[in-house]
Amino acid sequence: MKLSHLSETLIGSEIVKLGGEIREKIRQGERIYNFTVGDFDPSIFPIPKELEDAIVEAYRKHFTNYPAAEGNLDLREAIHSFIKDEEQLDYGTNEILVASGGRPLIYAVFRAVCDKGDKVIYAVPSWNNNHYTHFVGGEHIVVEATAANNFMPVADDLRPHIKEATLISLCSPQNPTGTTFKKEELEAICDLVIEENKRRGNSEKKLYVMYDQMYWHLTYGDIKHHNPVSLRPAMRDYTVFIDAISKVFAATGVRVGWSMGPATVINKMKAILTHVGAWAPMAEQKAVAYYLGNRDGIKKYLSHFKAEIEERLRHIYDGFTQLKNEGLSVDAIAPEAAIYLTIKIDLVGRKTPSGKVLADQSEVTAYVLNNAGLAVVPFYAFGAGKSSAWYRLSVGTCKKEEIGEMIGRLREALKILS
């Protein structure tokens, strides 16, 4: 049966395909080190106890009716206060929109800003920009970021495409790479946007930046998070932020997110989501409004949470560094942020003991899964070239005692190749 052009042309998810293979192997009793999911195992990383208690209490108080379409006022006031204190961004309650996590808000940004045929600029590897651009019938302007810049786009990558573009989608800390914008690099991109919007004057549609900072609390060592508006106040008119509790509080299933941006854009996004009905649940909104005021509790939670995530990332990075020093064909980028490590497994052309040549990167992915039990997501699943040897490794479900064992099995699988 023929359905809509949109549904008929949606691109299948490589991650979903890989996930099905992993689940089947686990079902058959195989030992799999599953580092594919951008999620958390609640038995390892539970949400804050105070937030959990507040959610339960909100349901007991029967906060089960419809919330306000733009998000309850008490939650928007709490977000305003929290972001002003923690990030020094001052957005009024009419410039904040709440929804059930980041995804509906991203969809609403694309819908509010882009018309069919409009140019959307995004770098790869990146999460889902190709799908959202497809939803609005936009023209994909794809920039392939490289290891030389830790897989973050730079101004020179974007400059040739700025003219007539409608939206630039940026993310930092970035999914899938776990890397971040350096201050100077983000400033240069902001200057491009400001200059282009001045050139357009009042007669043309403006160029907007969607800035996904879902992981901005989760930076490690000397890494600092930067955002367009703090670096260049003129960017306030052109920037729409995406944020949520999903990653910072290991609360992916609680579904409370928010956008901040120019009231004109936020109001249009609100109108779109009113018809979609993608509200965050009333009880969760009440609980998050309460919890964001508990700054001491948040600091205590983040101190432990970040330390546990960073320990896993650095342990695995050290393991890959050791394998590289042994002359094996792997590499990794030092962890900067989020719950992800960027790793490289470069085995195309190598031969297995049975004589099979690993002909392409998909065969490499299958080889490390079948022979080392290592499940990671290739960057080509995030839009990078099919020949890219780089992968996302996520530690949200990682048990520390598994890391040494996983590195050992990978070493054995690499050493038997010729």
pLDDT score at 55: 98
Q: Whose structure tokens read 């064909």? A: 329
In single-letter form, the type of residue at position 301 comes to Y
Which whole number is the average pLDDT over 273-283? 96
Q: Mean pLDDT for the chain? A: 96
The CATH topology of domain 50-294 is Aspartate Aminotransferase; domain 2 (3.40.640)
Residues β-bridged to residue 140: 120
| Domains 5-45+299-415 and 50-294 equal at CATH topology level | no
pLDDT score at 85: 97
Judged against a pLDDT cut of 90, whether residue 34 lies above it is answered with yes
* Backbone dihedral angles phi then psi of residue 97, each to the nearest 5 degrees: -125, 130
pLDDT per residue over 141-189, tens digit each?
Answer: 999 999 999 999 999 999 999 999 999 999 999 999 999 999 999 999 9
pLDDT per residue over 57-75, tens digit each?
Answer: 999 999 999 999 999 999 9
Judged against a pLDDT cut of 80, whether residue 313 lies above it is answered with yes
pLDDT band at 37; cut points 50, 70, 90: confident
Sequential DSSP letters for 225-284 = ---HHHH-GGGGGGEEEEEESTTTTT-TTT--EEEE--HHHHHHHHHHHHHHT-PPPHHH
Selection from 192, 203, 210 nearest residue 112 by Cα: 210
pLDDT score at 353: 92
Identify the residue with better confidence: 414 or 10: 414
Judged against a pLDDT cut of 80, whether residue 17 lies above it is answered with no
The answer to whether 283 and 265 are in contact (CB under 8 A) is no
**CA triplet 409, 415, 418: central angle to 5 degrees?**
140
Judged against a pLDDT cut of 90, whether residue 24 lies above it is answered with no
Which whole number is the average pLDDT over 198-213? 94
Q: Which of 44-53, 195-204, 317-326 has the lowest mean pLDDT?
A: 195-204
Q: Considering the domain 5-45+299-415 in this protein, what is its CATH number?
A: 3.90.1150.10
Selection from 360, 363, 376, 359 nearest residue 410 by Cα: 376
The answer to whether 121 and 140 are in contact (CB under 8 A) is no
pLDDT band at 310; cut points 50, 70, 90: very high
3-state SS assignment for residue 392:
strand
Domain residue ranges of the chain, discontinuous segments joined by +: 5-45+299-415, 50-294
3-state SS assignment for residue 120:
strand
